[in-house]
Chain A
């Protein structure tokens, strides 16, 4: 083992900031990160072992214990559950003979819960040894488990490939794109390399000016003007500038980046190259979520094609000094790494805990250098702005929200999938587009967004009204909103909180327990009021977007679905004692052999 681990560490030049890559390689080779390997890594990198372990234990897909020769990571997010996840989970448990979050005695099969894997349009879905299995059914589970027992290679068990590039020999995945509506920005035809050759004739400042004039705002959810971000970064004056593309879409319900990465990687990389030119950056990094590892080889191949076309590397497009290259950094399973400063920490080989601001990443980001972090969709759109014009882009959408938006729509609708719409579409129009009727609620922007009721369906999808990073979940009228969604999402935040802010760590749990109390029929009116009041503490004091929005599922449903909560509480009591004397003394009664007179 020692030699193997030494070689891996050596491959990354004994560089502590590449700890993620080191651990990913070890996990791959040993199917876990054995304690001994962690010790060797610690010694070689001159770190304490607890320091190495704190990175390992942060990420869902790193494990100190073997995860099973076949490791099944089954999505447990709300939409997966809507689509039959529980039956599939039970089938796995029955066929395999072990419960979730454990490994069979022979070490052959491990079953694991996992947060959203970006497949909400084809749930229930699982990642098994890095390969995605979609639309699972109990019958399919039986076949898969038989395959495990026969010792089949996991890739042989993919019986059919999905549409588009999913059948590419470097992907070979059963995932479907489900592109339902192609819009004028991302999905329009274009000539590869043209935009890069165009900007090579501009100065970096002119390029930034074009992007600023287009009014494009970040597509990840926060909506910061992209051109302004580039300009701030350039003015920070660091020795090096880094460009990072955030492909860590972990918001339950979003899967648009999966489709861009599969169908339009060239467009995305061109956007990165243009941004690199504008920023005078030499290195670009694509931070790819671990769940999308199955696309990585294909992406590497596309990068090589770009190098062969002289669109990546040195003297790009024949312009002396236009040097830029891109590397792919794989994550290891952590929602909070989608937060830009958490992502930087992760790229530096650490726990993905968001940083305190200021300084902002544009001032001090990756390796303490000015860093621009843009969303996949933002960078892809940049290419079309260059090829057409800022005016062309601004002519679409609304005043505050220029251009188009990719929506990932899932839940109770006939046509879940990807839709490129112009900003400004109303929720009613969206529901009609996806074939949804009898809708109780729409979760706009995923769990960290808002849950709205039908009286608000005339509102428009835009930064000025209903902003969204793209996740739209349609919730039908027969669903139990509190149990299936609010509780599921609150559990999600408890699991995915990095925990370093006291209020985020503690309150998520306190709120969950209070919600459970209400759902158990033990709540009174004061419980709802407290739930609301305490949830608002989260917004005020937490450091990052996760912490500030982790109470949103509770807060926005109290605001918009108050009768649901009211129907669960005891209205004739001011307080309810949850104390049950008989239950409390049951254990001691057992030992002393008598019961108290109550």
Chain B
């Protein structure tokens, strides 16, 4: 398909082309433009829950992972106003959980931590809440630590066993919503499936048991280059 059949749009002053049906996030990615996001993963209907990928079209904030790109769209993405808003969201996630990076197995591979570095977060503007959250270690291969969970829904959408959801939301609202693991199903996951679940989690809420510090801190994905730089290099 040449560019005449494609959708033409502009993002951060760059003229881009997209396949019909692509979302703004996917289209930007294939044009080498990184839109920060946390809940989006390829191949799963985007939950649109983290709200970090919001971009601006015609003075309106739209969520890039759920909105299809349209012909002639002019999109603002990497602008100070939006980056400040995204940084604020990252900070919110830090204060409403218990994220102690130095002691976390996911450090260096954690997308929340990587975004915090990208946005140059120093100290969150919001007061820490230090909420009490539980852990669940009943499954053979998975350690589920809710202290680090950002409730992005990735595991809910993606981790399945016999076509059933292994993870789900429980309760609702600002103070009670949390993610729970189905103990029966989780105990049936194979070692490979458990590793996959850990990789799906953007933070260190789902950990594979017996795999601590497999690669040393300092040599991990985001230790070497900032999140999104792989897309921007293309």
Residues of A at the B interface (CB closer than 8 Å) are 46-51, 53-54, 57-58, 334, 351, 356-358, 493-510, 512-513, 530, 534, 537, 540-543
Q: Does B167 contact A (CB under 8 A)?
A: yes
Q: Separation in Å of the B44 CB from the closest CB of chain A?
A: 13
For chain B, the count of residues having a C-beta within 8 Å of the partner chain is 49
Q: A351-B169, A497-B174 are in contact. Are A502 and B63 (CB under 8 A)?
A: no
Contacting pair B151 A502 (CB below 8 A): yes
Hey, which chain A residues are within 8 Å of B63, CB to CB?
356, 543
Identify B173's interface contact among A46, A54, A505, A543, CB under 8 A: A505
Q: Does B212 contact A (CB under 8 A)?
A: no
* In the complex, per-residue mask of B105-139: 1 if CB is within 8 Å of any chain A CB, else 0: 00000000000000000000111010000000000
A110 to B177, CA, bound (A): 23
Identify A506's interface contact among B61, B96, B153, B184, CB under 8 A: B96
Residues of B at the A interface (CB closer than 8 Å) are 46-52, 54, 61, 63, 66-68, 85, 88-89, 92-93, 95-96, 125-127, 129, 150-153, 161, 163-177, 180-182, 184-185
A31 to B175, CA, bound (A): 26
Q: A51-B164, A502-B49 are in contact. Are A58 and B172 (CB under 8 A)?
A: yes
Contacting pair A494 B174 (CB below 8 A): yes
Contacting pair A506 B47 (CB below 8 A): no
**Smallest Cβ-Cβ distance to B93: which chain A residue:** A502
Q: A502-B92, A541-B54 are in contact. Are A509 and B85 (CB under 8 A)?
A: no
**Smallest Cβ-Cβ distance to B160: which chain A residue:** A48
A541 to B52, CA, bound (A): 8
A542 to B61, CA, bound (A): 9
Q: A356-B46, A503-B51, A542-B51 are in contact. Are A50 and B93 (CB under 8 A)?
A: no
Q: A496-B173, A505-B174, A537-B85 are in contact. Are A48 and B54 (CB under 8 A)?
A: no
Contacting pair A499 B50 (CB below 8 A): no
Hey, which chain B residues are within 8 Å of A496, CB to CB?
172-173
A50 to B184, CA, bound (A): 10
Hey, which chain B residues are within 8 Å of A46, CB to CB?
163-164
Hey, which chain B residues are within 8 Å of A502, CB to CB?
49-52, 89, 92-93, 150-152
Contacting pair A49 B51 (CB below 8 A): no
Hey, which chain A residues are within 8 Å of B172, CB to CB?
57-58, 334, 351, 496-499
Contacting pair A543 B48 (CB below 8 A): yes
Hey, which chain B residues are within 8 Å of A506, CB to CB?
92-93, 95-96, 126, 174
Q: Separation in Å of the B80 CB from the closest CB of chain A?
A: 14
Select the residue from A58, A496, A506 with max chain B CB neighbours within 10 A: A506
Contacting pair B153 A500 (CB below 8 A): yes
**Smallest Cβ-Cβ distance to B97: which chain A residue:** A506
**Smallest Cβ-Cβ distance to B150: which chain A residue:** A502
